[in-house]
Structure formats: structure tokens, C-alpha cells
Amino acid sequence: MFGINSGQNVLLLWSNPVNTEELQTFVGDIKSAVGDDGRVSVENSEMLLSSSHQASCFDHVLAGVLPPFTYLCPVDTLGEALRVLKPSGRLTTRTVDATTTQSNLKMAGFTSVSEPKNANLTDEQKKDLTLPVNEVTCHKPSFEVGSSVQLSFAKAPAAQSSNGTWNIDLDDDLELENPDDLLTEEDLTRPDPSSLKVCGTTGQRKACKNCVCGLKEELESEDVQKAEENRKNFKSSCGSCYLGDAFRCASCPYLGMPAFKPGEKVKLVDSTLQDTT
Amino acid sequence: MDQPPIISRSRLEINFLRLLNVTQQMANGDKPKDWTFEKWMESRSLVILYGSETGTAQEVAARIGREARRYFFMPIVSAMNDFSLDNLLKQTLVVFVASTTGQGDDPSNMRSFFKMMWSQRKNKHILFNLHFAVLGLGDSSYQKFNYAAKRLNNLLTLLGGRSLIKLGLGDDQHDLGPDFVINTWLKELWNKLMDLYPLPEGCKPMDSSVIMPPKYKAVFLNNIESISNGTCVEMSKSVSDRPINIDNAHLAEVTMNTRVTADDHFQEVRLIEFDMTHSEERHKPGDVLMIQPQNLDEHVEEFLQVLELDPQQVFYLDVNDPNVSLPSLSLLPRPCTVRECVKNYLDIQAMPQRYFFELLSYFTKDETEREKFLEISSSEGQQALYDYCNRPKRSILEVLADFPHTRQNIPFEYIFDLVPSIRARPYSIASSSLALPKKAQILVAVVNYNTVLKRARLGLCTNWLARQRVGNSVPVWIKPGTLTFPDLSNEAIPPVVMIGPGTGCAPFRSYLQERVAAGLSKGVVMVFGCRSSTKDYFFKDEWEALVNKQELELYCAFSRDQEEKVYVQHIMKDNAPYFWKLIGEQKALVYFAGNAKRVPIDVHEALTYICEVGRGKGSQDAEEYMSKNLTKRYQTETWA
């Protein structure tokens, strides 16, 4: 379907209004098409710009391929779709307004924007439609700003005598006036800010080694209600609290305080929990 | 886990000791007695060249040298400028560590080296005999991210050198700092080097269970009279023309230290004035005052207690690792007391890195603590390291206090491997030496914020400065900044537009004062921004007086004085036609100083808008004008 192959990375963009059941079935279909080695990401078109996906990671983007086909992706969203597509990656969209869609795609930077084709809709999908729906496909250009390019001035060493000191090479095919001329396209780029984050920093929920307060089990079963309860009835008997932040669990009321000295009476400054030390 | 057989472990240790013995003998200038081992080691020399502005790249280079020994390489660590071309051409294996400083510039101790290599650029085979690898240290919040390392890497390739592994780009903006890239890059490097320069049969790289000897040896003096080796060095009171660093520092007395933000304002900003009589040069606008801070007394006491150190003990250091130099005598006199060392030299407020935890694992007898150290220093433990240290900004002092079974087992010498030395901090000088001779003023925003830790995070230098009373002396030295202002002797100076929100106005106040003192104040336009005209408008009286005398054109944005936020870029855009007249028609010089991240981008955008309004040919044309025409006249100085 849509020319999707196994092992590919597909991004599905949907917009309101949408039939959630239909969306789920559709996602299931794509998942089977890409198989275990592939991946399907589902995103609301309006959220794409703020999601900061990595550049050049998707093989195929499907935009607005579910009824009612009336949503027109704005150029900046299409530009973002272009960015997250791999070079030569493909985008497919279905729309009631093919002319505007084609023009938007071209403005966003897509190449090989196809002529509107008949979208092979099922009878279910054709229900309630008043205008004809067309399918348009296009590609991301195959070159990429910032991709690695063999340095044109990296030459294989010639078989020369070992004191290659003052040989002036006369075939100067590279004009270098300024040290900054040494920099390639890739050198001028900066890293993607999302690549600078340590993964999973949002979850600070860790149980300590000898957890008796139930956080360990709760994390394993991800029970939110239980978590709240445990937090309310906190009684430390795991014995890890006095060791310092490196050993404390995520629900420890002593987080942020230094390790206790032996025999120290510790007051919890602003808490309604029982002080058990 | 199986214990390694006892025999092979002791053989490793014997080899290690031989190596250490040879190294020490060489350091003492003795000829090593074991010729075969020596000859073999010579074939495995690894040169490590660094370009370092504040000492960070130098430390990384020394670290690479120490790691190299585990793989039986003989490291030679040197600044790039100290290594001649002839010497370089004799080498087959060189590792480069290059920071980027200022506005994408090479550090000073690398500039002449690069110039020399650059002059050879027509010779594409001159380095054909060289295997090299480059590690860069930079900050991706700057446009010219790691440009020094990138240029160097490409130049070495151009000259025929063969790159061992891909250029490493250490980044301050990563959650785990440059260490993240450095660790991975080094692993790759050693793997590649073990392929290319394999060890002989039966010889393996030294196990990580064998601890590296410390950088320094400490010699304790029990009797003050028995000082024969070291001399007590007093901080020099005068400046001579040596390199611009801590060795050039002199003591400057504090003559004023006042809070300039309203008492009920959330941020404490202070105007601090120093007596610069002992400085031989007169500072220029744009110059920076380097300040060497010390630890706060309460932190010193805590550290001494936590490690159970005798504060009165007198000692001096000798070098153990020949690739490391002794600390500057201005920072750590020889000899000195333990208390002086903790107060003036050891940066106990710094955040520990991965290597810190790796080292601690050798010193503890407690299994729980040891496990934790190994976990945090492992490559899988990066999340743990980040959560425990980087995110809450936990200090070395706080970490040591958390591990009672380890901290009292740390051998004294290893403290210098665990704790970095205190770095000097730069502050733009906010006064003119013409208007206020023999004095220098700086504007300091005291750093005080909270993370999850119960104790507030205090900036080392700002808090130490805030506590200095009039009459106290502080080690300082002058350094040129990155902003250059036009010479006052030049008759036809174009208008000067200076955009300096918050403490960014410091260098501009210096320049303004200089112009006024010279009677040349016409043509200076200042754009200032702060939160409120009553709370943090630092130089309100001074500047409004100048405005009344028509000696200054001033535009102010007070972001919180009305419901909608008004920033410097809004003021500029609101007056676009006038600013175009200055910038486009009168070719004004434009300056921006302030906080990095968002503001420089907003200001750049406002300038582009002004060009668009003035030229009336659309945004594309305005951007072209900006990059072709205005860039030459636009200077920025940003800080994190």
C-alpha cells in the first residue's frame, strides 16, 4: 500500500476531524506493511512543528490520507515534513484541492510533484464525500545540506621521498584564501538540540535497592493510583534514606538533603510526612 | 566474576612500575638503564598537542597522556605553539586537542602553529607520514561551533595527513558536557591505535583495576625551619610584561562595593570598584578584568572537616607526571598550608565528572559505595551521573559529604586528581580609565538559584566578590575583550550604536564615559533594557543627566513596567526608520553585549527588519545586506 516496503520508517500525519477507529485500523495496516523491522510514527499535523523530530529519518510521510481529506497542510508543516524525510524520501497526500496542494508542496521544497491521480478509496471512505479526491505524491531531493562529503582536497599520499619538506605543488586546484575556506558544508552546521539531551530525563522515578515502600512494585506495574497512596502514607523502612541522594529512591522525602551523620536527628523542614528517623 | 589469575596481575603491575620508573628517570634527566624497553617505548611515542585558552583543553590533553600509558604509549604533551614544524615532520602519531574561543577563534597558544601550517598549504604531501586525530572542545550555542578544531582537522588532511578517527566535537551544551563526546572519542581512538600499533604477544593494556599514579607528589614539612626546597612567594604587587595569565596577576584593593538593584528586586547586582594603581597599563573600553576568586570560608571549613584534613599542615608539590606542570606559584605557593590550598586553589564547588567517580572507586572499602561509583562512571550510567550531578548542579564538596566510607580514605595527593583548580572569571570593565583614572569598575550579577537540592546554588566568583569589603584585596589582571571600539584620535568616527541589556551594558558604559571625558560624546546611541525603571535600571541618574545635556541618545526598554513585555528589539523595531538612518546611511558601528541564547538572535532579527524597512526591497534583500554589509560593522560579546 502506498508503495511502503518492509523495514521502512513511516510518519503518518492526521488532522481533526478524524474517525479514531478508522485511524487505529489504518495504523495497524501500515504496521503490518513495514513489518518488525520497520516503524510507524503517528502525529497530529498541527503538532509536527513543535515535535522536533530528528532530521532525515523517515522513508515515507503520509499526510491527510484519511477522510474527510479536506485539511490542507500549511507550507511550514510541509517544510518540516521535508526536513524529517530522508533524501529521496516520499510523501503521499490525498486532497480535494489538488492544485493548492501541488503548489504548497513545491513551495515547501518537494520535487517530482506528481499530477493528481485517482485515489483508490474504498466505498466506506467514499461515503459522505461531495468532491472528488485525488492523490498526489512527491519526493525530497536526493542531496542534503550538511551531509558528509568526501573532502575534495583529501588526496592519497604520493610515493615520495621521506623528506617532503619544501616541495611546492604547482597544480593548485583549490583556491584557499582564508582559513575559513577550509570549512565544508557539514562543518557549518550545529548539532540538533535534541541530540544533546540524556535520554529519558523526564522520569526521575527510581526505586532504591531494598525498596519496602512499594515504589519498586508500583514502577513495575505503573499504577498511578497506588503511587499516590504510597506517597501519602510514606513510612521509610527501606533504610536507604540516610545514605544520600545517590542511593535514595524517587519518592524519598529526604531528596535534596545530604547524607545523614550517624545518630543525627533530621527534621523534614516543610513536609506533612512522618519523620521516622 | 572470576578473579584474574594472580600471576598475570602482578606481571601487569611490574610492567607498570617499570614504565613509571623509566618515566621518572627520564623526567629527572637520567638515562634509563633498560635499553630494550626504552627502545620499544620510543617507537611508541604519542605526541599530544593542545590549543587551550583557559586550561580546559590542556587538562584533556594531560588526561589523554595518562590514558596512553595504559596502552604502553609514551606520551609527550605540549602546547601547539611550543612544537616546531621540524619536530612535527618527524612524528608519525599526533593527537590534537583544540578549544574554540572568542568568536570562533583559535586559542592563543595555537595561533602561530596554525599560521605556520597554513603557510604550507600548497604542499599537499608534507604530512604524508603522519597519522593524526583531532578532538575539539566548544559550545554549540555559538554559531561558530568548534571552528578551530574543524579548520585544523581539514588543514591536516589537506596537507596529506591521515586521520585515524572522525573529528570529535565536545559540546558544553550537552547535558553531560564535553565529557560525553570525549569519552566515546577516546574509546574509539584507543581501539584504532591498538589495531595500528598492537602490543606484543602476552602483553595487554593495563587493567583498570590498576590505579594510575597521581599527577603530583606531596612533600610534607613538619618543621617550618626545614624549608630548603621551596620559597614562599608573595603575590606580586606589580605587573611585568609576561603572558597575560594568573602569573601576571596583581592585588587590587576594593574601593567600592554597592548593590545597584532595588532591595526588593529579586536579583542582586553590584557595582564593584578596584584600585588599579599597581597596574602599569591604562585599560581601554572593551577590556576585561580577570578575577581569581577564592572559596567561601564556610565551604573551606566544611571541606577540611569532611576529609578530616589538618588545616595547618605545611606541604609543597612535586611533579609526578612529566607532562603536567606545577600549579602557578601565584595560586599555590611552595610551600603552603592545607587551608591555603583549599581556600585559594581547589575548586571544591565544581561539579564532578565521570573520572571523579572512577577514581573514588579505588579508595573505598565499602562495597555499596564502590558499586555506586562504578555504576555512575560506567558508560551505561550516564543517566545516573546526569541525575545525580549535572541536573541538580551538585558540587564535589557535597558529593564527598555523601560518601562517609570513602572520603576519609582519599590519599592526599589524589585530591589534586579529583578536584580541578579554581579558574579566573572575566568581567567586562564598566568604567573608563580616562574618566576615572587608576580605577576599574565592574558590574556583577550575583548568581543564586535553586535546584532540587535544599541548599541554594551559589556562583563561586559572584558570591565571593559580593562579600569583599572595602579595603580587601583581590587578585586581578587586565585582558583585552572581544569588542574593539574605534580609536578616539580618529576624527571621523561614524555613529556608534550599542545594544546592552542588563549587565551587557558594562563595556558600553566604559566606552561612553571615555567619549564624554574626551569631549567627543556626539554620535553615541545606547539601547538599554532591563525589567523595571525603578528596580534594575543601574545607571539611571548618570545616563539621564547625560541625556539632558544632550551628550547621549538613549533608548530604554523596561520589560515588566507594563502589561506586555517590551524588550530591546521592540524599541529598535519601533524606531526602525531612525536606526536605518544611522546604520544604513551613516554606516554606524553596531555593538551587542549580553546573555547568549535568545537575545542575540532577537537583536539580529531586529537589525534585519530595520534594513528591510530602510531599503524597502523585501526580507531576502535585507538579509543579504546584513551578511555582506553590516557584518563587518557588527560586533557581539555574549556570555552564558
Q: What is the mean pLDDT of residues B231-253?
A: 56
pLDDT tens per residue, range A57-78: 899 999 988 888 888 888 888 8
- Quote the CA–CA distance of B421 and B55 in Å, as a whole number: 10
pLDDT of A271 > 60? The answer is no
Q: Is B556 annotated as a binding residue?
A: no
Identity at A230, one-letter amino acid code: N
Question: pLDDT band at residue B240, thresholds of 50, 70 and 90?
Answer: very low
Question: What is the Cα–Cα distance from B348 to B61, expressed in whole angstroms?
Answer: 22
Contact A182 B150 (CB under 8 A): yes
> B573 φ, ψ to 5°?
-65, -40
Q: Strands of B288-291's sheet, edge to edge?
A: B425-428, B288-291, B473-479, B250-259, B269-275, B439-445
Q: Residue B431 and residue B510: Cα distance in Å, rounded?
A: 4
Contacts of B31 (CB under 8 A, 6+ apart): B25
User: CA A255 to CA A266: how far, in whole Å?
Assistant: 13
Q: How many percent of chain A have pLDDT more than 90?
A: 7
Residue carrying the nine cell digits 561614524? B494
- Residue B507: CB atoms within 10 Å: 26
Q: Which of B157, B176, B452 sits opposite A255 (nearest CB)?
A: B452
Q: In this complex, which of B150, B174, B382 lies closest to A183 when CB atoms are compared?
A: B150
CA distance B195 to chain A (A): 21
Instruction: State the pLDDT at residue B5.
Output: 37
Chain B residues inside the 8 Å CB shell of A179: 114, 118, 151, 155
- Alpha-carbon gap, residue B421 to B343, rounded angstroms: 11
Q: Which residues contact B279 (CB under 8 A, 6 or more apart)?
A: B239, B250, B252, B477, B478
Q: Provide the H-helix boundaries in B518-566.
A: 540-548
Q: Which helix (DSSP H) or strand (DSSP E) does residue B274 occupy? A: strand B269-275
Taking each helix axis from N to C end, the angle separating B598-615 and B618-628, rounded to the nearest 10 degrees, works out to 110
Closest chain B C-alpha to A128 CA, distance in angstroms:
45
Q: Do residue A198 and residue B401 have CB atoms under 8 angstroms apart?
A: no
Contact B41, B15 (CB under 8 A): no
Looking at the predicted structure, is the pLDDT value of residue B6 above 60? Answer: no
Q: What is the pLDDT at residue B457?
A: 92
What is the predicted ipTM? Answer: 0.70
Q: Which string of b and e fits B54-88 if b means at least 16 CB within 10 Å?
A: ebbbbbbbbbbbbbbbbbbbbbbbbbbbebeeeeb
Sequence-ordered list of residues with C-beta below 8 angstroms from that of B496, at least 6 positions apart, any chain: B485, B486, B511, B523, B524, B525, B588, B589, B591
Q: Is A245 on the interface with B (CB under 8 A)?
A: yes
What integer best gives the mean pLDDT of chain A? 75
Cell, residue B629 = 554589509
Q: In whole angstroms, what is the distance from residue A155 CA to residue B128 CA?
A: 10
Q: Say if residue A150's pLDDT is above 50.
A: no
Residue recorded with cell 593548485: A172
B499 forms beta bridges with: B527, B592
Residue type, A72: L
Q: Rounded to a whole number, what is the distance in Å from the CA of B466 to chain A's nearest CA?
A: 26
Q: Does A255 contact chain B (CB < 8 Å)? A: yes
Maximum separation of any 2 CA atoms in chain B, in Å: 87
pLDDT value for B229? 39
Distance CA B218, CA A163 (A): 46
Residues 6+ apart with CB under 8 A from B205: B70, B71, B72, B190, B194, B199
Q: Residue A158: pLDDT band by 50, 70, 90 thresholds? A: very low
Distance between CA B509 and CA B430 in Å, rounded? Answer: 6
Q: Does A148 touch chain B (CB under 8 A)?
A: no
**Among all residues of chain A, which has the CA nearest to that of B167?**
A187
Alpha helices per DSSP H over B261-381: 297-306, 338-344, 354-360, 367-377
pLDDT digits (tens, 9 = 90+) for A241-254: 788 888 888 778 88
Contacts of A267 in chain B (CB under 8 A): none
Does A202 lie at the interface with B, CB-CB under 8 angstroms? Answer: no
Q: Which of B116, B124, B380 is the best residue to mutate to test the A interface, defined by the most A CB atoms within 10 Å of its own CB?
A: B124
Q: Which residue of A has its CA nearest to B124?
A: A169
Write out chain A residues lying below 8 Å of B121, CB-based.
176
- A159 interfaces chain B, CB cutoff of 8 Å: no
Residue B453 gets which letter from DSSP? S
Q: Per residue in B92-119, pLDDT tens?
A: 999 999 999 987 899 999 999 999 999 9
Show the CA angle centred on residue A237, arms to residues A233 and A238, nearest 5°. Answer: 115
The whole-angstrom separation of Cα B220 and Cα B208 is 29
Residue B533 CB neighbour total at 10 angstroms: 12
B223: confidence class by pLDDT, cuts 50, 70, 90: low
Q: How many CB atoms lie within 10 A of CB B234?
A: 10
**Cell 551578511, residue located:** B627
- The verdict on a CB contact (< 8 Å) between B151 and A176 is no
B476/B279 Cα distance (integer angstroms): 9
| Site of grid cell 506493511 | A33
Number of helices and strands (H, E) in chain B?
A: 21, 22
Residue of A nearest to B89 (CA): A165
Kindly determine whether residue A176 and residue B394, on different chains, have CB atoms separated by under 8 Å: no
B557 touches B528 (CB < 8 A):
yes
The pLDDT of residue B117: 94
Q: Does domain A9-139 have CATH number 3.40.50.150?
A: yes
Instruction: Supply φ then ψ for residue B446, to 5 degrees.
Output: -70, 125
For residues B403 and B400, give the distance between their C-alpha atoms in angstroms, rounded to a whole number: 5
Q: Tell me, what DSSP letter sits at residue B585? A: I
Q: Tell me which DSSP letter residue B221 carries.
A: E
Whether residue A124 is predicted with pLDDT greater than 80 in this model: the reply is: no
Residue B238 clears pLDDT 60, i.e. is over it: no
What average pLDDT score do residues A224-246 get? 67
pLDDT in the model for residue B360: 95
Q: Do B401 and A167 touch (CB under 8 A)?
A: no
Cβ burial of B416 (10 Å; 0-12, 13-18, 19+) is buried
Q: Is residue B2 over pLDDT 70?
A: no
Residue ranges matching CATH 3.40.50.150 in chain A: 9-139
Q: Which of B169, B382, B394 sits opposite A198 (nearest CB)?
A: B382
Residue A225's pLDDT is 62
pLDDT digits (tens, 9 = 90+) for B321-375: 777 888 988 889 989 999 999 999 999 999 998 889 999 999 998 999 999 999 9
Provide mean pLDDT across the span B251-275. Answer: 95
Q: What single DSSP character describes residue B19?
A: H
Three-state SS sequence of chain A? CCCCCCCCEEEEEECCCCCHHHHHHHHHHHHHHHCCCCEEEEEEHHHHHHHCCCCCCEEEEEECCCCCCCCCCCHHHHHHHHHHEEEEEEEEEEECCHHHHHHHHHHHCCECCCCCEECCCCHHHHCCCCCCCEEEEEECCCCCCCCCCCCCCCCCCCCCCCCCCCCCCCCCCCCCCCHHHHCCCHHHCCCCHHHHCCCCCCCCCCCCCCCCCCHHHHHHHCCHHHHHHHHHCCCCCCCCHHHCCCCCCCCCCCCCCCCCCCCCCCCCCCCCCCCCC
Rounded alpha-carbon distances, angstroms, from residue B254 to A92, B173, B476, B509: 70, 35, 11, 20
CA distances from A215 to A203, A231, A258, A277, B132 (A): 14, 9, 22, 19, 51
Sequence-separated (6 or more) residues with CB below 8 Å from residue A1: A29, A30, A33
Number of residue pairs across A and B with CB atoms under 8 Å?
123
Report the SS3 class of residue B634. Answer: strand
A16 touches B: beta carbon within 8 Å = no
Strand partners, A85: A58
Chain A environment of B372 (Cβ under 8 Å): 246-247
Tens of pLDDT along B33-76? 555 666 777 778 899 999 998 888 998 998 999 899 889 898 89
Residue A40 has pLDDT above 80, yes or no: yes
Q: Does a cis peptide bond (omega within 30 degrees of 0) precede residue B335? A: yes
The residue with greater pLDDT, A183 or B1, is: A183
Q: Which of the residues B130, B143, B184, B387 would you substitute to probe the A interface, choosing the one with the greatest number of A C-beta atoms within 10 Å?
A: B387
Write a three-state SS string for B65-113.
Answer: HHHHHHCCCEEEEEEHHHCCHHHHHCCCEEEEEEECECCCECCHHHHHH
Q: How do strand A58-63 and strand A9-14 relate by DSSP bridges?
A: parallel
A139 with A90: CB under 8 angstroms?
yes
CB B421 within 8 A of CB B327: yes
Single pTM value for the model: 0.70
3-class state of residue B295 by DSSP:
coil
Residue A120 Cα to chain centre, angstroms: 31
> Which residue carries 576624527 as its cell?
B491
| HSE value, Cβ hemisphere, 13 Å, CA-based, for B374 | 12
Inter-chain residue contact B387 with A201, CB threshold 8 Å? yes
- Exposure string over B344-383, b if 16+ CB within 10 A, otherwise e: bbbbbbbbbbbbbbbbbbbbbeeeebbebbebbbeeebbb
Give the per-residue pLDDT at B533. 93
End-to-end alpha carbon distance in chain A: 64
